[in-house]
């Protein structure tokens, strides 16, 4: 009976996911122009957050590098956009970030805790300042224009990156690679002595997560039309994924997705309606979230469930 229940629950979930996917894929057909634009931005945040969680969640290494990889993708679009079609420069942006992450990861993943966080943050600053210098003193330009692409196309590009990312995360989580990743977060020394090549697992995961950040950057750049190093390497894009992941809860695969979706929607609404106060309201929401939801939004579900069940299903 249990097996039947599990399979029926599973096919129900698959059906639900399929339905959501169909609704999302046909969105531009029934929703006005603003909705796909809003959804593009929400998906962008989801991609940043989920790919951040892919590495930092299980390993516990707090990376503040998302803005660096995101920015590398943006610059890939700005430089290549004129010459090659959208899919090519999205992949190029992702690969560029992948390679940067491989190099940086090989150098820095021996750092632990706060040192790693600060270094990755410094990386964002370093690339940004190098680009400012290069553009100003070597090329004599200030910022660049990015090729303009129709917002529905961008929406589909973002949706595809999102789906590929979710599949990647799902399969990593279920694979033996995912088990190794988790063991590193639990106890890196023990993992190494049990035969896990910890450096390789960390660097590859770091680079895979950077690939998706770069791809998202390359895609969204075409919405922004003009970019410069300060826009492309805005440090906010390093912190927001972390906040969104904490807000959603990192214990489950869907935690960061829900966190980022609600967070991004809230941000969009607040910016448009209370442009002056939005950062303030945002801050309050965050403080409340961290105080009252230590496991994030998804952590609320088992808590509410337990309350409803009135302790009958006490943890045994």
Partner 1 sequence: MPILEGEGVTKYFGGLAAVSHVNFNVDQGEVVGLIGPNGAGKTTLFNLISGALTPKSGVIRFKGKNITGSKPHQICRMGVARTFQSVKVFNNMPVLENVLLGSLFGTSTGMSSADAAREATGLLDFVGLSAVKAILAKDLTLANQKRLEVARALATKPELLLLDELMTGLNPAELAQAVELVTRIQDKGVTVFMIEHVMKAIMSVCDRIIVLHHGEKIAEGTPQEIATSKTVIEVYLGE
Residues of this chain that interact with partner 1 (CB under 8 A) are 176, 179-180, 182-183, 186-187, 189-198
What's the CA gap between 192 and 15, in Å, rounded? Answer: 40
Nearest in space to 66 (alpha carbons), one of 168, 185, 217, 167: 217
Nearest in space to 56 (alpha carbons), one of 153, 184, 170, 155: 184
CB of 248 to partner 1, least distance (A): 19
CB of 44 to partner 1, least distance (A): 31
**Range 255-282 burial, b when 16+ CB lie within 10 A, else e:** bbbbbbbbbbeebbebeeeeeeebeeeb
Lookup: tokens for 18: 């399929």
CB of 216 to partner 1, least distance (A): 30
List 226's β-bridge partners, or say none: 145
Whichever of 180 and 207 has its CB closer to partner 1, that residue is 180
Lookup: tokens for 196: 């896990």
Whichever of 103 and 186 has its CB closer to partner 1, that residue is 186
Lookup: tokens for 118: 């600060």
State phi, psi for 251 to the nearest 5 degrees: -65, -30
What's the CA gap between 201 and 180, in Å, rounded? Answer: 7
CB of 129 to partner 1, least distance (A): 35
Whichever of 82 and 193 has its CB closer to partner 1, that residue is 193
Whichever of 189 and 276 has its CB closer to partner 1, that residue is 189
Whichever of 118 and 190 has its CB closer to partner 1, that residue is 190
Whichever of 80 and 198 has its CB closer to partner 1, that residue is 198
CB of 208 to partner 1, least distance (A): 19
CB of 192 to partner 1, least distance (A): 4
Q: What is the DSSP string of 107-124?
A: HHTT--HHHHHHHHHHHH
């Amino acid at each position: 009976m249990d097996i039947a229940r599990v399979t029926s629950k599973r096919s129900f979930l698959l059906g639900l996911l399929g339905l959501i996917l169909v609704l999302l894929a046909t969105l531009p057909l029934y929703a006005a122009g603003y909705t796909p634009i809003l959804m593009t931005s929400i998906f962008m945040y989801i991609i940043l957050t989920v790919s951040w969680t892919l590495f930092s969640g299980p390993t516990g290494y707090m990376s503040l590098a998302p803005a660096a990889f995101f920015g590398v993708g943006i610059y890939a679009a700005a430089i290549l956009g004129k010459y090659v079609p959208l899919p090519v420069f999205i992949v190029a942006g992702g690969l560029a970030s992948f390679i940067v992450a491989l190099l940086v990861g090989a150098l820095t993943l021996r750092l632990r805790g706060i040192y790693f966080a600060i270094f990755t943050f410094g990386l964002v600053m370093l690339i940004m300042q190098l680009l400012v210098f290069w553009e100003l003193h070597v090329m004599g330009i200030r910022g660049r224009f990015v090729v303009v692409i129709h917002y529905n196309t961008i929406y589909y590009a973002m949706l595809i990156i999102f789906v590929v990312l979710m599949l990647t995360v799902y399969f990593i989580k279920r694979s033996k690679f995912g088990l190794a990743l988790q063991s590193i977060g639990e106890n890196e020394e023990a993992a190494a002595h049990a035969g896990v090549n910890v450096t390789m697992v960390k660097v590859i995961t770091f680079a895979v997560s950077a690939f998706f950040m770069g791809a998202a950057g390359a895609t969204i750049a075409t919405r922004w039309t003009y970019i410069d190093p300060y826009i492309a390497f805005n440090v906010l894009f390093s912190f927001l994924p972390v906040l969104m992941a904490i807000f959603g809860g990192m214990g489950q695969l869907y935690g960061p997705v829900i966190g980022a979706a609600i967070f991004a929607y809230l941000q969009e609404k607040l910016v448009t309606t209370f442009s002056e106060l939005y950062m303030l309201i945002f801050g309050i929401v965050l403080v409340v979230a961290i105080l009252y939801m230590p496991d994030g939004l998804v952590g609320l579900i088992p808590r509410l469930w337990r309350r409803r069940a009135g302790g009958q299903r006490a943890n045994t």
